[in-house]
């Protein structure tokens, strides 16, 4: 354990700075998001490393006893299978190995755990380009989004989770002499307090953000002393496999078993998720994905569950200073990664009487036309269009947008196939924009994952707000954006939406978008509505992974 403690000394300054940033909530990161910060040859070397992995077995993992190798990832850009195969394990074998190392990891002190985990992140940093190409060719994200989301931003979220956990584990002293005066005598007790991990943890990954959504639960559970089994989506394994490989290497170098952090790969035809989740030895489950499966996970008895599910995100336009800047921002938020983000807006509420702007009154039709033109201008831009849209990850999402006309309403902007100049066969589709009326809640109260947006015509902004609040309360929401120059209306929107545990982003224009959440500052999901029961990364996100137990001994 000496090496693990030396790792803590190596990274203590980073940990302390992370804890300070969490309390301050200002901008801070030890992982710059720009690729240029990671070496002149990083891109070329990362691309070559990814290419070498294709059509090969992934042999970096240190867990043993595989029964074979499997893999079925397909690049949304190449429309070809990557051919990468991962070691396959029986669910019971994974559970038994985690059970065997549970006590040794629980007895590893928090300083050693922190040192090991931050060292792993440091090594992951050296592979950001490689992870970027892995993410790009499994999720369909553009290269720059893949680099940022699966590299620096994912590392930020992992470090944030372990820093919150370390901070919470440090709140209670390890021991104390307790003295109670009793007049002529005293009662003296030696007391100690231990943070007891709940047990084996499982993280169920998603296909669109295989590291960003996985590492918070993974690192929160590891930091609090729980062994973890990561079960990624079978179509997006490689990015998180690289991260797990680095964690396993550091664990082994520190004299600990790599089975403390295991990868569990399956296929869509032979899934093992339920076998793992339903095992009584699995005590913690983190899940990102559909509401239907999330509700199944939440229903499992004897589990502590952290979910991020589907929600219906809305945008209210009441009044603006610069209409062009507003519609450009909304168009980008709708189009970014083809709307395959849990934070992307779907429902845009506009009053039928139009809105006030700094240039005067704009009618409803003028606002709708401006937004439609902004979308068309963006997606057809020769330099920005394909890069902003990325690729469609799943065939089901692609079919949904192709058949968007079946949803009803008035098709304002039809989805079109967009040519990616770098990848001729890439699965790309521009957003469909459909006009609905306030009464059409049966359509727009459901999540239409992917590049589909709804314009909802309302009587006025009060009706817009009421419907937006109702959707969040009934279906959940992760984000909400609003545009108003009226202070009273701004206060009303914030009050009403916060009441249903939905954060509001006001008057975003320029280079900041509602889709973005910053680690160490923004909570991702509040945990208060149907979109999910947990939040990245508040104290509750880590405290439910262990139990404080106190012991007393008379002196």
Q: What is the mean pLDDT, run by run of 10 residues, along the chain of 555 residues?
A: 85 98 98 95 96 97 96 96 98 98 98 98 98 98 97 98 98 96 95 98 97 98 98 98 98 97 97 98 97 96 97 97 98 95 96 97 98 95 91 93 93 92 92 97 94 97 98 97 98 98 98 96 97 96 98 94
Q: Is 458 helix (H, G, I), strand (E, B) or coil?
A: strand
Largest Cα–Cα distance in the chain?
A: 89
Residues 299 and 401 in one domain: no
Position 116 in a domain: yes
Residues 336 and 290 in one domain: no
Q: Which of 355, 348, 343 is nearest to 331 (CA)?
A: 348
Position 28 in a domain: yes
Position 514 in a domain: no
The enclosing domain of 449 has a CATH number of: 3.40.309.10
What crossing angle do the helices spanning 487-499 and 461-475 adopt, rounded to 10°?
Answer: 20
| Range of the structural domain that residue 336 is part of | 314-506
Residues 183 and 83 in one domain: yes
8 Å CB contact between 449 and 400: yes
Residues 208 and 89 in one domain: yes
Tokens of 198: 């709940």
Last residue of a domain, one of 506, 521, 543: 506
Residue-by-residue DSSP string for 361-413: EE-HHHHHHHHHHHHHHHHT-TTTHHHHH-----HHHHHHHHTGGGG-SEEEE
Residues 282 and 347 in one domain: no
Residues 394 and 278 in one domain: no
Residues 282 and 382 in one domain: no
Position 358 in a domain: yes
Q: Which of 408, 397, 379, 432 is nearest to 310 (CA)?
A: 397
Residues 331 and 458 in one domain: yes
Hey, which bits of 209-324 come out as E strands? 228-231, 261-263, 282-288, 304-308, 314-317
| CA angle centred on 151, ends 207 and 428, rounded to 5° | 45
pLDDT at 241: 98
Position 520 in a domain: no
- Cis-peptide into 523, omega within 30 deg: no
pLDDT at 522: 97
| Cβ neighbour number for residue 127 with a 10 Å cutoff | 22
Residues 84 and 148 in one domain: yes
Domain count within the chain: 2
| Secondary structure (H, E, C), 516-555 | CCCCCCCCECCCCECCECCCECCHHHHHCCEEEEEEEEEC
Position 522 in a domain: no
Query: Whole-angstrom Cα distance, residue 442 to residue 254?
Result: 56
pTM over 0.75: yes
pLDDT at 4: 78
Residues 50 and 131 in one domain: yes
Position 52 in a domain: yes
Residues 286 and 419 in one domain: no
Residues 301 and 433 in one domain: no
Position 164 in a domain: yes
Q: Is 360 helix (H, G, I), strand (E, B) or coil?
A: strand
The enclosing domain of 30 has a CATH number of: 3.40.605.10
């Amino acid at each position: 354990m000496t090496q693990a403690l030396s790792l803590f000394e190596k990274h203590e300054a980073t940990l302390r700075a992370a804890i300070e940033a969490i309390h301050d909530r200002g901008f801070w990161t030890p992982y710059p998001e720009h690729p240029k910060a990671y070496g002149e040859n990083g891109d070329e070397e990362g691309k070559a490393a990814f290419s070498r992995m294709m059509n090969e077995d992934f042999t970096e993992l240190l867990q043993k006893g595989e029964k074979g190798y499997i893999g079925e990832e397909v690049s949304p850009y190449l429309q070809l299978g990557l051919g990468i195969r991962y070691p396959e394990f029986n669910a019971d074998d994974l559970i038994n190995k985690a059970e065997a190392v549970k006590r040794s990891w629980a007895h590893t002190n928090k300083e050693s755990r922190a040192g090991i985990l931050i060292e792993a992140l440091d090594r992951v940093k050296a592979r950001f380009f490689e992870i970027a190409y892995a993410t790009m060719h499994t999720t369909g994200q553009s290269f720059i989004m893949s680099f940022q989301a699966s590299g620096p931003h994912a590392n930020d979220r992992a470090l944030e989770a372990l820093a919150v956990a370390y901070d919470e584990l440090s709140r209670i002293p390890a021991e104390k002499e307790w003295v109670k005066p009793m007049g002529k005598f005293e009662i003296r007790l030696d007391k100690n307090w231990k943070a007891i991990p709940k047990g084996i943890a499982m993280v169920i990954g998603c296909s669109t953000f295989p590291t960003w959504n996985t590492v918070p639960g993974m690192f929160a559970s590891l930091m609090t002393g729980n062994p973890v089994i990561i079960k990624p989506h079978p179509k997006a394994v490689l990015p998180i496999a690289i991260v797990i490989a680095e964690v396993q290497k550091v664990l082994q170098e520190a004299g600990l078993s790599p089975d403390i952090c295991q990868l569990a790969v399956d296929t869509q035809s032979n899934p093992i998720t339920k076998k793992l989740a339903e095992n009584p030895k699995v005590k913690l489950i983190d899940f990102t994905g559909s509401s239907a499966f999330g509700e199944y996970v939440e229903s499992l008895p004897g589990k502590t569950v952290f979910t991020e599910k589907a929600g219906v995100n809305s945008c209210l336009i009441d009044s603006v200073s610069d209409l062009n800047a507003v519609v450009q921002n909304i168009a980008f938020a709708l189009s970014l990664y083809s709307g395959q983000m849990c934070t992307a807006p779907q429902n845009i509420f506009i009053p039928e009487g139009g809105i006030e702007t700094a240039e005067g009154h704009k009618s409803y039709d003028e606002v709708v036309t401006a937004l439609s033109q902004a979308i068309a201008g963006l997606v057809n831009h020769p330099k920005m269009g394909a890069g902003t849209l990325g690729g469609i990850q799943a065939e089901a999402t692609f079919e949904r947008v192709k058949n968007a006309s079946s949803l009803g309403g008035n098709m304002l902007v039809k989805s079109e196939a967009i040519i990616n100049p770098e990848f001729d066969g890439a699965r790309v589709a521009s957003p469909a924009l459909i006009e609905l009326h306030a009464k059409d809640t049966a359509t727009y109260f459901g999540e239409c994952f992917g590049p589909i947006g709804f314009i909802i015509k309302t009587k006025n902004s009060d009706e817009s707000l009421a419907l937006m609040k109702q959707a969040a309360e009934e279906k959940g929401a992760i984000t909400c954006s609003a545009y108003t120059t009226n202070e009273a209306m701004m206060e009303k929107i914030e009050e009403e939406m916060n009441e249903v545990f939905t954060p509001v982003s006001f008057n975003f224009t320029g280079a900041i978008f509602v889709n973005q959440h910053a680690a160490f500052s923004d909570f991702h999901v509040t945990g208060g509505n149907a979109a999910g029961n947990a939040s990245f990364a508040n104290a509750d996100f880590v405290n439910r992974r262990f139990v404080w137990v106190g012991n007393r001994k008379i002196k």
